[in-house]
Amino acid sequence: MRRASATALPAPETGERRDWQTIKNLMPFIWAYKYRVIFALSCLLAAKGANVTVPITFKHLIDALTLTEGQALIVVPAAVLLAYGVLRFSTSLFTELRQIVFARVTQQAVREITLQLFRHLHALSLRFHLERQTGGLTRDIERGTRSINSLISYTLYSILPTLVEIGLVMGILLVEYDAVFALITLATLTAYIVFTVKVTNWRTALRRQANELDSAANARAIDSLINYETVKYFNNEAYEAARYDQELAKWTSAQITNQYSLSGLNVGQAAIIAVGVTAMMWQAASRVASGEMTIGDIVLVNAFMIQLYIPLNFLGMMYRELRQALTDIERMFGLMHEHQEIADAPDALTLPPGPASVRFEHVGFAYDAKRPILHDLDFEVPAGRTVAIVGHSGSGKSTLARLLYRFYDVQSGAIRVNGHDLRQLTQDSLHAAIGIVPQDTVLFNDTLFYNIQYGRPSASREEVDAAARAAQLTEFIQRLPDGYETRVGERGLKLSGGEKQRVAIARALLKNPAILIFDEATSALDSKTEKAIQAQIELAASGRTALVIAHRLSTVMNADEIIVLDQGRIVERGRHGALLARAGAYAQMWMLQQQEDGEQTAD
């Protein structure tokens, strides 16, 4: 069966509703299963044909039963009764066949679109994810995903069948009876649809406002819960609850207004239907009284009106739900349309495996143009060598790791790996060549084994064990009742800072990359563990290209070159001994840290 994964999913521009365009964009995903679609539509026509024929059969049954004893045999009503039962069963059979055949189409379309969105979000830049609130983003995705399924279901399972049935009933009334019946039906339908569309369009703005407030409240709650410890530290539970309640109060008010408008819509629709049914039955009854129509005819007209009333009322509800689904899906399509700041060049090269050299070539960078971070940075990390970057907080050290991963593009200069500008390499091959131990380690809410193996998901148990031993984790894991199967909690909060950092080291070692980045890799460790892991870090870096970003100078004494940053500029560079002899910025930092270590030892 063909898949629609290669089909791009366009999205509406911000602030512009393009409902029909949204439906049009869904069609390639549905038409990928065109034979199922054609068969399902055939079942739809058969089901509605049988459904409309039921009242006609019932009319003939009534008329046959009114014949005198000598006018017809009992086989006539018996045959009509049999046909009535078969048609009733056929309606349900074809309806269920349509559902069965089309179920795969609907679910596969939802799967393909959701997967595209998931991949697109991972392809967006770090800047996008830092600026978005996770709670609001996940709520938009949740509502949008649910609404895709609703949109397809409402359109193809409900609205189209209802329109087909209305068309068949109108045709029968026009051909078989006085034109006044068709005119009354047409007038009722027109009034109903116009009223529904106008009121529903007005309600759409209310729905959008309620969604905005819902996302805001959800984002507030998740942001507060993610920062649970901070809330506790500052005794701000009541403050957080009050802020959340402010958002909930706005959302509650919007929901109440939304319900009032819905009730008004329902009352108006019921009034229109009541007037139309009354007019139809008045006309039918007067014609039966004058002998122009039989008892069977009035039964037929009444059955048609009942059959029309149910789907017509259903059509109004479906239109409301369809508009609401389109409102929900609009925000998700906006995410699909979000500009991908960092993208592979059309002619991007694949970085081959093997030793790699890194060069920062007159690099200038700023997260915000008003506040430059790096200024004309120029240095090289030769293949198989270790270069350390040191400096005070805010000097731009960690920014180097983000730039090397190409989370951002430099504003001036270039970063090269094996002579290739990062912007000319595929991000997949670049990321595969780099391993990192970040300063702030965030773990998945899963087991220890899963978090270590995440460095290379195909790694065996023995390889994971070896990486854990190299990161000095074995003893800690053996003390745990569940060992490797211990769950680490949300963002790894069940582990201490040092334990999380050792998991990060094991994960990086398991990846076995050509380039290793240690971003304050031992900052959360005690002195004893730091010395043990430092030896493993140096062993792991041996023979690899290593960039060590450190605040504690004792961890970079053996680096091939040490670069001192100050406010985004290189102020000194050289080996440990030479820098001490120079008695400059590095020597001052060394003396300060020695004094701090001495004071801590005395304590």
- pLDDT tens profile 314-351: 666 677 678 778 777 777 777 777 777 788 888 889 98
Tell me the CA distances in angstroms from 59 to 37, 64, 77, 79, one per residue in order: 34, 9, 11, 13
pLDDT digits (tens, 9 = 90+) for 385-395: 999 999 887 78
* Structure confidence at residue 3 as a pLDDT band (50, 70, 90): very low
Alpha carbon separation from 478 to 163, 333, 448, 530 (Å, rounded): 67, 48, 12, 20
Local confidence band at 78 (pLDDT 50, 70, 90 cut-offs): low
Question: Is residue 282 classed exposed, middle or buried when 0-12, 13-18 and 19+ CB atoms within 10 A define those classes?
Answer: exposed
Q: Compute the distance between CA of residue 68 and CA of residue 301 in angstroms, rounded to an integer.
A: 24
Place of tokens 């960039």: 547
Instruction: Give residue 315's pLDDT.
Output: 65
Q: What is the pLDDT of residues 411-436, one digit of tens each?
A: 889 999 998 999 999 988 998 898 88
What domains can you pick out in the chain, each with its CATH number?
19-336 (1.20.1560.10), 358-602 (3.40.50.300)
Are the C-beta atoms of residues 32 and 3 closer than 8 Å to each other? yes
pLDDT per position as a tens digit, 194-250: 888 788 778 777 877 888 888 888 888 888 888 887 888 778 888 889 988 998 898
Closest CA to 330 of 23, 6, 3: 23
What is the per-residue pLDDT for 415?
Answer: 93
Q: What is the pLDDT of residue 462?
A: 92
User: What is the distance between the alpha carbons of residues 103 and 88, in angstroms, rounded to a whole number?
Assistant: 23
Backbone angles phi, psi at 314, to 5 degrees: -65, -40
Which carries the bigger pLDDT value, residue 591 or residue 316? 591
Q: Is the pLDDT at 12 greater than 50, yes or no?
A: no
Of 260 and 62, the one with more pLDDT: 260
Q: What is the pLDDT of residue 420?
A: 92
Q: Rounded mean pLDDT of the chain?
A: 79
Q: Is the pLDDT of residue 88 over 70?
A: no
Nearest one of 507, 350, 347 to 430, comparing CA atoms? 350
Report CA 580 to chain centroid distance, whole Å. Answer: 53
Q: Is the dihedral of CA 254, 258, 264, 265 positive or negative?
A: positive
Checking if the pLDDT of 550 tops 50, the result is yes
Q: How many CB atoms lie within 10 A of CB 127?
A: 13
pLDDT at 603: 52
